[in-house]
């Protein structure tokens, strides 16, 4: 009886019926993986440094690695895949590139190039198969925004749509491609960090923007939100911290119930710096970073540490249940649950 009461009153998380572990799918590749797009339980794509792009069509049993010809030295920090044939990848720094494949990665078309020395792209996301958005660090204090309405074949600069000027030292992080989140119908959230942390929010496919304060750890170039996710238009999460102090967790996870207008700390935090977070379902979330991975089964209020292994990104399948994690040295793992 005492044990039952302890479970009910003090630690509901640890009484969950499921336990979690991480299963290796790939552990050796000369690339630091930060781009991750899990299409289904069988199809997933990854992208990273040294021009590397990886794809599985059998649930991670085997991986096919390619390097788009002519782009072998590019750091592809983010990727959006639509199926086993179509994907868009983003190279971050000058010259910044956006490439697309329609034949499973055999060939790639360059659809955007920017040689401005100040350009630095941080992440991409799609509202649907046609409409997508990419954002980057500010140039002349203005957030950089690119938009496509033809599935990535062409990109329009819509940076002037953001009326607000970013503060000195305010930028974003391309740690996992997930400081941006889109939901169908045009909803968009972008998180900035560094000296100042804000949430930039649009309801109309990036045509107009509101700005909300994000009270996560901030003030230094290495601090701020490194990943955000929204389960719906109201319920969301931001994780981050200080990547130079990846075991500290004083203020590195926040929750919102009003679409990012206000944020609150959970009852118990993640264990350290986190650069990736995703909702598995309404109650279950996973957060990962260089100091390990945590799971919550109560909407982000309490977290259980399940691994010390370093990762950069985590994503759940768009269609299906698979949850994959990716990191340095080509590391790709899968979340396993045991009832």
Query: pLDDT of 279-288, one tens digit each?
Result: 999 999 999 9
Q: Within 13 Å of residue 85, how many CA atoms lie on the same side as its CB? A: 2
State residue 22's pLDDT score: 98
Model pLDDT, residue 2 = 42
The DSSP-derived string for 278-306 is EESSSS-EEEEETTEEEEESSTTSS-EEE
**pLDDT > 90 in the chain, percent:** 93
Q: How far apart are CA 80 and CA 89, in angstroms?
A: 7
pLDDT tens-digit readout, 11-48? 444 444 579 999 999 988 899 999 999 999 999 999 99
Mean pLDDT in residue range 50-79: 98
The residues near 282 (Cβ < 8 Å, ≥ 6 apart) are: 231, 235, 299
SS (H, E, C) 92-110: CECCEEEEEECCCCCCCEE
Percent of the chain at pLDDT > 70 equals 95
Rounded-to-integer distance, Cα 249 and Cα 60, Å? 32
Q: For position 18, what pLDDT does the model report?
A: 77
Nearest alpha carbon to residue 185 among 203, 200, 208? 203
Cis ω before 95 (30° cut-off from 0): yes
Query: Is the model's pTM score more than 0.85?
Result: yes
What is the pLDDT, as a whole number, of residue 29?
Answer: 87
Mean pLDDT of 117-132: 97
């Amino acid at each position: 009886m005492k044990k039952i009461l302890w479970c009910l009153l003090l630690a509901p998380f640890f009484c969950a019926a499921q336990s979690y572990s991480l299963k290796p799918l790939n552990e050796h590749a000369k690339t630091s993986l930060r781009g991750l797009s899990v299409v289904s339980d069988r199809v997933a794509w990854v992208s990273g440094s040294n021009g590397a792009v990886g794809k599985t069509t059998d649930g991670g049993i085997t991986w096919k690695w390619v390097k788009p010809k002519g782009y072998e030295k590019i750091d592809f920090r983010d990727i959006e895949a639509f199926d086993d044939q179509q994907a868009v990848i983003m190279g971050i720094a000058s010259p910044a590139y956006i490439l697309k494949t329609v034949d499973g990665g055999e060939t790639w078309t360059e659809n955007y190039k920017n040689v401005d020395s100040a350009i630095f792209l941080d992440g991409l996301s799609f509202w649907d198969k046609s409409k997508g958005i990419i954002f980057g660090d500010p140039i002349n204090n203005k957030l950089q925004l690119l938009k496509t309405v033809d599935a990535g074949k062409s990109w329009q600069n819509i940076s002037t749509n953001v009326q607000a000027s970013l503060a000195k030292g305010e930028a974003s992080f391309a740690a996992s491609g997930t400081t941006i989140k889109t939901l169908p119908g045009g909803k968009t959230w972008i998180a900035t960090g560094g000296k100042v942390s804000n949430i930039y929010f649009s309801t109309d496919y990036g045509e107009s923007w509101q700005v909300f304060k994000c009270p996560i750890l901030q003030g230094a170039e290495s601090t701020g939100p490194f990943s955000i996710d929204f389960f719906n238009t109201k319920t969301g999460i931001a994780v981050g911290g200080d990547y130079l102090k990846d075991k500290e967790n004083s203020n590195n996870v926040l929750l919102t119930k009003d679409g990012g207008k206000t944020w609150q700390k959970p009852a118990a935090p993640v264990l350290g710096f986190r650069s990736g977070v995703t909702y598995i379902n309404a109650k279950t979330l996973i957060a990962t970073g260089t100091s390990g991975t945590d799971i919550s089964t109560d909407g982000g209020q309490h977290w259980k540490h399940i691994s010390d292994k370093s990762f950069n990104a985590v994503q759940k399948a768009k269609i299906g249940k698979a949850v994959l994690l990716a990191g340095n040295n080509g590391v790709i793992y899968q979340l396993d649950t045991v009832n």
